[in-house]
Amino acid sequence: MTFAAHLLVSTNPSDDYAVLGEVPCSTPDEVQAAVDAARAAQPGWAGLSLQQRSAAVESFTAVCEQHAEQINQLIAAETGRPIRNTRGGTTAGLDYLRRYSDLAARYLEPHISAQDEHLVQRIHREPWGVIAVICPWNFPFLNVAWSCGPALLAGNTVVYKNSEENPLFTQLLARLVAQSDLPAGVLTTVIGGAQVGHLLVTSGVDKITFTGSVETGRALTALAAQQFIPITTELGGSSPGLVFQDVEVSEELAHDIFWKRFLHSGQICDAIKRLIVHESLAQPLTHALVEVAARQRLGDAREESTDLGPLVAHRQVQRIEEQVADALERGATVHCGGRRPEGLRGAYYEPTILTGITPDMRVWREETFGPVLPIVTFTTEQEALQLANDTTYGLSAYVFTNDADRFARCAQALRVGGVGQGTTSIFDPNSPFGGWKASGLGRTNGEEGFHAITQTKLIATQR
């Protein structure tokens, strides 16, 4: 992404950064106007019944479904996410939006906390008011569903800012909102980079929801504290995958691990970013993963035959190159990849598998937000857990074992927000998602997610 005056220039990372379009950044007055519109709309929106709000959100969902392929093609072009995978993300977002309506009725319903012959105490959930939502580029539509759906159903209004990497998507989102039955001001958008984000969160909002980097998350948390408003953050991850000796090295296992790491060229927060393998399986599993990598087609994200697309921007390629170069200088071995592919012009980097990893290497200490998988070995379960927890992050972990007792021990010992047995999904609208340590504060989805976007009010009545 490049900036020209007060424009965001959207480029195609699959096609030598060809310009897709230019979008004006929101001015300070426009940011404040968006917040003011959300403030004016919020009482009326909250005053509707949940059924009425659900109907309006469903109308937005239906409009998005009608334009799903337009959404998909734009995401693929603007972010480099392969079109087949993009479609899956949009479908999931539509499903989440629809399922949230049923969950809202359950999780927002007042309930009795105490009672006797004289009184009844009930806990009510009420909206915060205006929520500033800032999201990244890697799951554009799904992020809208996760961050905006429950907030809107609970009676909040939302001012939404997506990453500066895909301003055309934000522009399209605004048009889709306008075609729906959502009242004016209930879901508004602003466009820009860090400066616009700063303006948004300091323009009188009642809560911040942020998904993105640790550095930005810390800065926004400080701004929230200064204003004494709440914030929910879902930040980076360096999720471990632990492979124990009781599993069989098979093509299916290698396939599952490969895609849990390399889907969307590894640009996923909860992807396996460090593979921790029992020493008896390291050689055959590494070989099997290299074979899977060799079968994937790297190319233009808009083409149906593409398995792996580019990274989102040139700067992401440069960072991955620096991390891999650091590993090689310190003694790591490349089994595949480790370079930009020949014959492709754009933000491409080959799927890369490294062994000989040591704790001082950047690929171990930092989040690798790209197609790089470092592999380390262990001898004992205790050693595996120590390696897994050797990170400032704590988003998720995946344990490959057929031993139920071992999985239970590992799940308890891992300092993360979610643990899956193998690549079992840890995602569902009913289940909270979020991280420990530097991976964030608070949760989205599930009962905890609905409670994060509402305030608690106790009402005591006489019998």
Go through the chain and tell me how many residues it has: 463
Task: Enumerate helices (H) and strands (E) in the chain, giving the number of each.
Answer: 15, 21
What's the pLDDT at 3? 40
CA 455 to chain centre: 24
Question: Do 261 and 292 form a contact (C-beta atoms < 8 A)?
Answer: no
Distances (CA, A) of 397 to 275, 297, 422, 448: 10, 28, 9, 20
- The model's pLDDT over 191-226, given as tens digits with 9 standing for 90+, comes to 999 999 999 999 999 999 999 999 999 999 999 999
What's the pLDDT at 5? 44
Running DSSP on this structure, what letter comes out for residue 229?
-
Per DSSP, what are the bridge partners of residue 133? 160, 209
94 C-beta neighbours (distance < 10 Å), count: 19
What pTM does this model have?
0.95
Q: At which residue do the structure tokens 């310009």 appear?
A: 19
Token pair recorded at residue 148 = 């905006």
> Checking DSSP bridges between strand 239-243 and strand 231-234, what pairing results, if any?
unpaired
- Alpha carbon dihedral 309, 313, 319, 323, in 10-degree steps, equals 0
Question: Do 132 and 207 form a contact (C-beta atoms < 8 A)?
Answer: yes
Q: Where do runs of H (alpha helix) occur along 20-82? A: 28-47, 50-66, 68-79
Backbone angles phi, psi at 440, to 5 degrees: 135, 175
As a whole number of angstroms, the distance between CA 309 and CA 393 comes to: 26
Question: Do 8 and 167 form a contact (C-beta atoms < 8 A)?
Answer: yes
| Residue whose C-alpha is closest to residue 129's, from 159, 155, 98, 163 | 155
What's the pLDDT at 424? 87
Of the residues 78, 164, 165, 234, only one is catalytic, namely 234
- The model's pLDDT over 130-189, given as tens digits with 9 standing for 90+, comes to 999 999 999 999 999 999 999 999 999 999 999 999 999 999 999 999 999 999 999 999
CA 112 to chain centre: 35
| Residue whose C-alpha is closest to residue 187's, from 209, 156, 216 | 156
Question: Do 397 and 242 form a contact (C-beta atoms < 8 A)?
Answer: yes
Token pair recorded at residue 239 = 């999720």
**Amino acid letter for position 461:** T
Of the residues 78, 269, 366, 381, only one is catalytic, namely 269
> Beta-strand (E) ranges in 263-351?
272-278, 333-336
Q: At which residue do the structure tokens 């093609």 appear?
A: 73
The helix or strand, by DSSP H or E, that contains position 456, with its residue range, turns out to be strand 454-462
∠ CA 383-332-355, nearest 5°, is 50
234 is catalytic: yes
Which parts of the chain register pLDDT below 70? 1-5
> Beta-strand (E) ranges in 116-206?
119-127, 130-134, 157-161, 187-190
Per DSSP, what are the bridge partners of residue 444? 433
Residue by residue, DSSP assigns 2-34 as: EEETTEEEEEETTTTTEEEEEEEPPPHHHHHHH
Token pair recorded at residue 420 = 């899956």
What's the pLDDT at 4? 43
Beta sheet of 333-336, edge-to-edge order? 333-336, 352-355, 372-378, 272-278, 239-243, 396-400, 418-421
